[in-house]
Amino acid sequence: MADKLTLEVVTPYGSVLKEEVDEVVAPGSEGEFGVLPGHVPFVTTLKIGMLVYKQGGNTGYVFINSGYAEVSDDRVLVLADSAERAEDIDVERAKAAMQRAEERLRQKENVDFARAQAALQRALTRIEVAQKVRQS
Ligand code: ATP
């Protein structure tokens, strides 16, 4: 049994990361789940949330915008609608997206609430994930 996992995060916009890691915690639709080397194979859906991985003494944080995760052969493959490493998140852009979504949710008519809610959740989660590497 290998003592590492290969973590790969792929989106329609391109590959976000491919790393050898020790442990992954991902935002499953039914709740967070952790994967260590030797985990049984499975496939699950992901919700908007934060993926965390441990690599030696370091911890990495990745924003995940829904998708799927496949675990097999000590590999975690995440296929997400969009995703960014915490370091790559543009916080000003996320704040602007948050304000647009909040504005839409304040309107009473001609608003797709589910879409605006999802946009708001993406923005809030991006801000939260970005803070993980910006805290001093
Ligand atoms: P926006 O309204 O700002 O476009 P969004 O949630 O609609 O946000 P997505 O559809 O999730 O954006 O992503 C579109 C592309 O833009 C993806 O490549 C995604 O990684 C990138 N992206 C979106 N928001 C940010 C951000 N705040 N920082 C870095 N990249 C971002």
Give me the residue spans of the domains in the chain: 5-86, 88-135
* Residue 136 confidence (pLDDT) above 90: no
**Average of pLDDT values for 68-86?**
97
* pLDDT at residue 108 in the model: 78
> Which numbered atom of ligand 1 lies nearest the CA of 126?
27
* pLDDT at residue 1 in the model: 58
User: What distance in angstroms lies between residue 126's CA and the mean position of ligand 1's atoms?
Assistant: 9
Find, among 56, 132, 121, the residue nearest to 88 by Cα.
132
Instruction: Tell me if the domain spanning 88-135 has CATH number 3.50.30.50.
Output: no
Cα–Cα distance, 86 to 130 (Å, whole number): 5
Find, among 80, 132, 122, 84, the residue nearest to 102 by Cα.
122
* pLDDT at residue 110 in the model: 87
Pocket test for ligand 1, best of 92, 93, 112 (most atoms within 8 A of CB): 93
With beta carbons less than 8 A apart as the criterion, state whether 5 and 36 touch: yes
Give me the phi and psi of 96, to 5 degrees please.
Answer: -65, -40
Cα–Cα distance, 123 to 121 (Å, whole number): 5
Per-residue pLDDT tens over the stretch 7-55: 999 999 999 999 999 999 999 999 999 999 999 999 999 999 999 999 9
* pLDDT at residue 65 in the model: 97
Which CATH superfamily hosts domain 5-86? F0F1 ATP synthase delta/epsilon subunit, N-terminal (2.60.15.10)
What is this structure's pTM?
0.95
With beta carbons less than 8 A apart as the criterion, state whether 46 and 29 touch: yes
* Residue 135 confidence (pLDDT) above 80: no
> Residues for the chain: how many in total?
136
User: What distance in angstroms lies between residue 128's CA and the mean position of ligand 1's atoms?
Assistant: 15
